Amino acid sequence: MKTLIKNGVLVTMNPQREIIRGDLLLEDDRIVSLDPAQAEEIDLCIDARESLVIPGLIQSHVHLCQTLFRGMADDLALLDWLQKRIWPLEASHDSDSMYISALLGCAELLRGGTTAIIDMASVHHTDAVFSAVQQAGIRYLGGKCLMDCGDGVPDSLLENMDEALQESLDLLQRWEGQSGGKIHYAFCPRFAVSCSDRLLRETARLALHYQVPVHTHASENRDEVALVEQERGLPNVVYLNELGLCNPRLVLAHCIHLRDDELSILAESGTHVAHCPSSNLKLGSGIAPVPELLIQGCNISLGADGPPCNNNLDAFMEMRLAALIQKPGHGPQSMPAQQVFEMATLGGARAMGLERETGSLEPGKKADIAVVSLAGWHTRPLNAAGVYSQLVYQARAADVQAVLVDGKLLMQDGRLLHLDEDRLRPAGEISLQRVAHRAGLL
């Protein structure tokens, strides 16, 4: 299968950060060449005239299990948000509602140019999330959420540690490498507040043994930070480091309230930080010290987090906010658009452990690609020298006209080609009614 994307502006993100006006040739799941000679027979041709051709965007922290709950948990701080809304709702999922929730999330992500994600599922029905991801065709790293303690956690979400970890290992065996190699497993302890010391230690041991990533939250909210220090006797990141979790396999979401020594630990250990600006603002959690983390040498990526704390899965919105929120405190030259776009592409690829496979348009890399139209009034006038500005400050998810993952065209002209959108939308409403009623929130 040979695909030609022609007449576009290629934002390569290669080591030279070249911007090339020309064509992109794909064969099966790989990029073959940039600006190829047009002598070969082409099976599919995509006209990218007046468009930017970019590496597929990568979101390093989302919760597909929460897509159904969009708009159900507004105007709450983190711990109340979890205890009063999200945990009761997650506990009320069934396998079918989980599948629909994950599929709805994937549909929104793909339509907005996101081709790969790091996800945290809920405690139960993780197979349904993997099934939805496989159906959607998105590139995925994630796994079952682990919780074995904590105030306000519904009994049905609290599990025996050994049984929970065994289920994680069973899921790892079933799903690692599925969907043509697009699915990878990660251990997902929720956060220190709901995970015992023993659970976190054993997760660190298993992650090392199986060479599997770990994805969790830390230092998102001041009350959470104080609770961890009160219960465990150490600041959040120091505590995780003492348990052996801080290393290049750890993807740590939020990292807002950090001491100087925690900044150093994250940098020196190679821990990846998933920055979620919209969620951090909506929950009133704060603004992450991203410029300081970058100076230390940390790899920073971007994520929308869950739909109930955002309420979008729009990577373009996250890029814009990631750039803007730092400027009042650090000056207008902080967080330039090119640096932010790197966080949304190569930064995410590094967090997934896939920087050799995706995150840039280079021969030999996976054909994970988005075509972003510049035909809208909000992107005019066209300026070939300002493509990063167009992408970070001007473009919107609705401008994405085509998306390919592993070389397969999944979305074109604003419509998903492999999912029945007309049936999926009402299925979401029906599932929400059932789950919210079960949770006592309707």
pLDDT digits (tens, 9 = 90+) for 40-77: 789 999 999 999 999 999 999 999 999 999 999 999 99
Name the superfamily (CATH) of residues 57-352: Metal-dependent hydrolases (3.20.20.140)
Task: Provide Rg for the chain, Cα atoms.
Answer: 21
* Fold held by 2-55+367-414: Urease, subunit C; domain 1 (2.30.40)
Preceding amide of 381 cis, omega within 30: yes
Contact by Cβ (8 Å): 224, 186: no
DSSP annotation of 385 reads G
Using the Cα atoms of residue 195, residue 200, residue 202 and residue 207 in order, give the sign of their dihedral: positive
Q: What does the domain layout of the chain look like in residue ranges?
A: 2-55+367-414, 57-352
Host H or E run for residue 224 = helix 222-232
Q: In 13-85, which residue ranges form alpha helices assigned H by DSSP?
A: 78-80
Host H or E run for residue 25 = strand 19-27
Residue type, 382: L
Q: Tell me how far apart the alpha carbons of residues 421 and 127 are, in angstroms, rounded to a whole number.
A: 22
Residue type, 87: W
Contact by Cβ (8 Å): 233, 272: no
Q: Tell me how far apart the alpha carbons of residues 60 and 38 are, in angstroms, rounded to a whole number.
A: 37
Nearest to 418 by CA among 133, 120, 33: 133
Count of other CB atoms within 10 angstroms of residue 329: 10
pTM above 0.85, yes or no: yes
Q: What is the pLDDT of residues 336-368, one digit of tens each?
A: 999 999 999 999 999 999 999 999 999 999 999
Q: What is the pLDDT of residues 393-409, one digit of tens each?
A: 999 999 999 999 999 99
User: Is 57-352 the same fold as 2-55+367-414?
Assistant: no
Q: Tell me how far apart the alpha carbons of residues 32 and 376 are, in angstroms, rounded to a whole number.
A: 30
What is the CB-side half-sphere exposure of residue 72 using CA atoms within 13 A?
A: 26
- Residue by residue, pLDDT tens for the chain (442 residues) are 999 999 999 999 999 999 999 999 999 999 999 977 765 789 999 999 999 999 999 999 999 999 999 999 999 999 999 999 999 999 999 999 999 999 999 999 999 999 999 999 999 999 999 999 999 999 999 999 999 999 999 999 999 999 999 999 999 999 999 999 999 999 999 999 999 999 999 999 999 999 999 999 999 999 999 999 999 999 999 999 999 999 999 999 999 999 999 999 999 999 999 999 999 999 999 999 999 999 999 999 999 999 999 999 999 999 999 999 999 999 999 999 999 999 999 999 999 999 999 999 999 999 999 999 999 999 988 876 699 999 999 999 999 999 999 999 999 998 999 999 999 999 999 999 999 999 999 8
